[in-house]
Amino acid sequence: MRDVAVIGMGMTPFGKFPETPISKLGYTAIIEALKDSGIEKQRIEAAFIGSVYGEMGIGQKILMEIGLTGIPVTNVENACASGSSAFREAWLQVSMGAIDVALAVGIEQLSTSISGPIPLNLEDYEVSQGLILPAQYALMSRRYMDRYGITEEQLAQVSVKNHYNGTLNPKSQYRKKMTLEEIMSSRPIADPIKLLECCPIGDGAAAAILVSKEYAKKLGISNPVCVKSSVLMSGDTVYEPEESVWSQKLINKTVSKAYEDAGLGPNDIDFAEVHDAYPIAELLAYEGLQFCKPGDSGKLLSDGVTELTGAKPVNTSGGLLSKGHPLAATGVAQLYEIYLQLHGRAENRQIERNGKLPLVGVAETMGGGGISNLSGNICSIIILAR
């Protein structure tokens, strides 16, 4: 396995852009990534395009617009971790020495097709009992509240924090501060989850250029952002009673493997972007990333540890709750935030400690929901470092 560097990244703003052709969202992110990397598009040897609801051949449709044809193009669907999965395929091929330069993209346009919760399979047992995606997370929240005494206010505080961070991110879908009162009094969706605790429907794309570390060196790039590990795991089945809630064991296992592969531990991680589709998901990520003991995630948040100025900032971009969640774009957009932070290019939301930039960031992306007896479709953990 070779070391792999990320030498360029790009991202469209997230938001509702029903008038923008989906291919334009895609090539806008790719062109930004190319410019950032300083390499010519002809150097790209293979492209991996993550999309959930995109049409057949979405990758080719985007790439033909910028004259990038005649290369292997692979379209990847893996629920909300589709972009992360596309990135991982690009990383694998470069790492294994099959190619030197790869393009990874995550793209989604939901505003033209969806309003309200993401549609689930109507033949599914749990969906036929009335399950909707927010209810899946509500069931996790309730068990956690009853087991560990985590309060509705603590859950809402995740949304307060991430909306504040979103005000500092010019590419965030929401750039409006939300108070605890506003969130607590917003429309109930599935108790205890309220409207302002649900990630919004939106559109967007993000792209990354990956090269071998030797190739980066030849380009004259010293000290690039490198991929320390990239782990993908599907969830376990649940047919019997067990104490863990949906996706919990999956996050824990995927993180452990990613730490092992990278030779790193929780103390080495400076900051994280996690899959806060709903607040409980961010709390579970704190525990999965071993930032605190099981059950202490509410306290970690209340103590301010995961705020922008805390010891372990989480979702400096605004997270899914504020930055938005165009499904497949999310995983690559999380890496985009980590990339900016590692380069000291995160402007008003830049993390610094004693005047120094952060060195290691981790992205957690959780895919799926709405498949009976499956505790998470897919989890991706990617660790980037300089």
Partner 1 sequence: MYNLEKLIVPDSHDDNLKLNCSYCPKCERKYFPLKEICADCLDSLTNIEINSNGRIFSYTTIRTDSPFYKAPYTLAFVDLDEGVRLLARVNVESHQQLDSNKRVKGVRTPITTKDGETINAFEFKIIEEV
The catalytic residues are: 80, 325
* Residue 186 in contact with partner 1, rule: CB under 8 A: no
CB of 232 to partner 1, least distance (A): 21
CB of 116 to partner 1, least distance (A): 7
| CB within 8 Å of 241: residues ≥ 6 apart | none
Choose the stretch contacting partner 1; rule: CB under 8 A; options: 224-232, 237-245, 301-309, 346-354: 237-245
93 or 141: CB nearest partner 1: 141
The conformation of residue 113, written as its DSSP 8-state character, comes to T
Structure tokens at 277: 């589709």
Among 127, 340, 346, 385, binds partner 1 (CB under 8 A): 127
* Residue 114 in contact with partner 1, rule: CB under 8 A: no
DSSP-based three-state secondary structure for 47: strand
Choose the stretch contacting partner 1; rule: CB under 8 A; options: 167-175, 234-242, 321-329, 347-355: 234-242
CB of 131 to partner 1, least distance (A): 6
346: phi then psi, degrees, rounded to nearest 5: -90, 15
128 or 179: CB nearest partner 1: 128
* Residue 131 in contact with partner 1, rule: CB under 8 A: yes
CA 254 – CA 321 distance, rounded (Å): 23
Among 38, 149, 188, 265, binds partner 1 (CB under 8 A): 188
* C-beta separation of 318 from 162 below 8 A: yes
Q: How many Å is the Cα radius of gyration of the chain?
A: 19
256 or 372: CB nearest partner 1: 372
Among 46, 189, 231, 374, binds partner 1 (CB under 8 A): 189
DSSP 216-270: HHHTT--S-EEEEEEEEEEPPB--S--SSPTTHHHHHHHHHHHHHHHT--GGG--
49 or 118: CB nearest partner 1: 118
Binding-site size, partner 1 (CB under 8 A): 41
* C-beta separation of 352 from 195 below 8 A: no
CB of 192 to partner 1, least distance (A): 8
CB of 301 to partner 1, least distance (A): 21
243: phi then psi, degrees, rounded to nearest 5: -80, -30
CB of 256 to partner 1, least distance (A): 24
Choose the stretch contacting partner 1; rule: CB under 8 A; options: 63-71, 111-119, 286-294, 346-354: 111-119
321 or 338: CB nearest partner 1: 321
Structure tokens at 157: 């505080």
* Residue 140 in contact with partner 1, rule: CB under 8 A: yes
DSSP-based three-state secondary structure for 287: helix
* Residue 281 in contact with partner 1, rule: CB under 8 A: no
Strand-pairing partners, residue 302, are none
Among 128, 223, 309, 348, binds partner 1 (CB under 8 A): 128
Q: How many residues does the chain have?
A: 386
Site for partner 1 in 238-277 (CB under 8 A): 238-242, 245
Structure tokens at 93: 């091929």
Across 227-257, b (16+ Cβ under 10 Å) vs e yields bbbbbbbbbeebeeeeebbbbbbbbbbbbee
Among 64, 66, 139, 226, binds partner 1 (CB under 8 A): 139
CB of 287 to partner 1, least distance (A): 17
* Residue 130 in contact with partner 1, rule: CB under 8 A: yes
Among 72, 116, 265, 304, binds partner 1 (CB under 8 A): 116
* Residue 160 in contact with partner 1, rule: CB under 8 A: no
Helices (H), the chain: 22-37, 58-65, 82-95, 125-128, 133-148, 152-167, 180-184, 213-218, 248-262, 279-288, 297-302, 319-323, 327-343
* Residue 196 in contact with partner 1, rule: CB under 8 A: no
Structure tokens at 107: 């793209």
CA 184 – CA 153 distance, rounded (Å): 7
CB of 142 to partner 1, least distance (A): 5
* C-beta separation of 288 from 251 below 8 A: yes
Binding site for partner 1 (CB under 8 A): 116-117, 119-120, 122-132, 134-135, 138-143, 146-147, 187-193, 237-242, 245, 372-373
